[in-house]
Amino acid sequence: MIACCGLDCSLCEAYMATRSDDDARRAQVAKEWSVLYNTDIQPEHICCDGCRAGGRLFFYCDTMCEIRKCCMENDLANCAECVDYPCDILRGFIKIAPEAGESLEQLRAELE
């Protein structure tokens, strides 16, 4: 369940609300993420099976995430497999999500 960027989708609020099919939790996540990301997220947007699961995807991860787009275009499971690791986009992301960076470092150690 590790996303292209290194985040663990199994710990993501949207994933958990989807798995439990919990509308109250969807509404809560939508409210929190609207404030956090300064945008309008509705409860029905909170529907995601995970970055690499091949199912439903949260709209940001599906259409706006540059990291996921890059991995898909280069046929990489995640950034740990990339020859340009860590690029500037990824570095910027890891600054706000250090846990993703730790996860990618672990994956790279396993690849060696």
Which of 17, 30, 41, 67 binds ligand SF4 (CB under 6 A)? It is 67
Residues 6+ apart with CB under 8 A from 106: none
Residue 75 Cα to chain centre, angstroms: 17
Q: Is 61 in the site for ligand SF4 (CB under 6 A)?
A: yes
Residues 6+ apart with CB under 8 A from 33: 13, 14, 39, 41, 46
Displacement of CA 98 from its chain's centroid (Å):
13
33 counts as binding ligand SF4 under rule CB under 6 A? no
Does 6 bind ligand SF4 (CB under 6 A)? Our answer is no
Q: Does 41 bind ligand SF4 (CB under 6 A)?
A: no
Nearest CA to 57 out of 14, 86, 94, 100 is that of 14
Q: Return the number of the residue (12 or 24) whose C-beta is nearest ligand SF4.
A: 12
Q: Of 33, 86, 101, 103, which one interacts with ligand SF4 (CB under 6 A)?
A: 86
Q: Does position 70 bind ligand SF4 by CB under 6 A? A: yes
Contacts of 85 (CB under 8 A, 6+ apart): 79, 104, 108
What is the contact surface with ligand SF4 in residues (CB under 6 A)? 3, 7, 9, 12, 14-15, 48, 50-51, 57-58, 61, 67, 70-71, 74, 76, 79, 82, 84-87, 89-90
